[in-house]
């Protein structure tokens, strides 16, 4: 999977968890909790969805690695 594919999967699952977001206005450095206002349950749901789609186990201590689209692509590319 290319990093473009991974980015697309990440954004798709992010929008499924938080459909109030506008896909076009999400920046690579937007923090999913601080900027996009996901709560901790949303984060858990996102982690579960990414696991489902990419087969990646994301332990709690790595949650900061998926906290922005930019960081997530790097982290998931390595892990997937």
Partner 1 sequence: MTQDGETTLTGAAAAGQTGARAAHPEGSGEAWTEARRLIDGWKGGVNIAHEALDRHVAAGHGGDLAIRWLGKSGERRDLSYADLTAEASRFANVLMDHGLRPGESVFAMAGRVPELYAAALGTLKAGMIFTPLFSAFGPEPVRTRMEIGGANVLVTTESIYRRKIASWAGEIPTLKLILILGDAAPEGCVALGPAMAAAPPEFETVATGPDDPALIHFTSGTTGKPKGAVHVHKAVLYHAYSGRKALGLEPGVKYWCTADPGWVTGTSYGIIAPLVNRVTMLIDEAEFDLDRWYSTVQDERVEVWYSAPTAIRMMMREGAEAAAPYDFSSLQFLASVGEPLNPEAVVWSEKVFGQPFHDNWWQTETGGIMIANRPGMTVKPGSMGQPLPGIEAGIVESEDGTLRELPPGEIGELALRPGWPSMMRAYLHEQARYDKCFVDGWYLSGDLAMRDADGYFWFVGRADDLIKTSGHLIGPFEVESALIEHDAVAEAGVIGVPHETAGEIVKAYVTLNPGVTPSDDLERDIRGHARKRLGPAVAPREVVFRKTLPKTRSGKIMRRLLKARELGLPEGDISTLETDET
Give the DSSP letter of residue 23: G
Contact between 40 and partner 1 (CB under 8 A)?
yes
Shortest gap between Cβ of 38 and partner 1 (angstroms)? Answer: 6
Query: Cα 52–41–70 angle (5° rounding)?
Result: 65
Contact between 33 and partner 1 (CB under 8 A)?
yes
Contact between 19 and partner 1 (CB under 8 A)?
yes
User: What is the C-alpha to C-alpha distance for residues 75 and 70, in angstroms, rounded to an integer?
Assistant: 9
Contact between 52 and partner 1 (CB under 8 A)?
no
Choice from 15, 56, 79, 80 touching partner 1 (CB under 8 A):
15
- Contact by Cβ (8 Å): 71, 31: no
């Amino acid at each position: 999977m290319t990093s473009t594919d991974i980015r697309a999967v990440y954004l798709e699952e992010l929008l499924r968890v938080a459909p109030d977001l506008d896909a076009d206005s999400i920046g690579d450095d937007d923090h999913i909790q601080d900027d996009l206002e996901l709560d901790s349950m949303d984060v858990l749901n996102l982690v579960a969805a990414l696991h489902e789609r990419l087969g990646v186990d994301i332990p709690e201590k790595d949650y900061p690695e998926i906290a922005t689209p930019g960081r997530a692509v790097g982290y998931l590319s390595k892990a997937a």
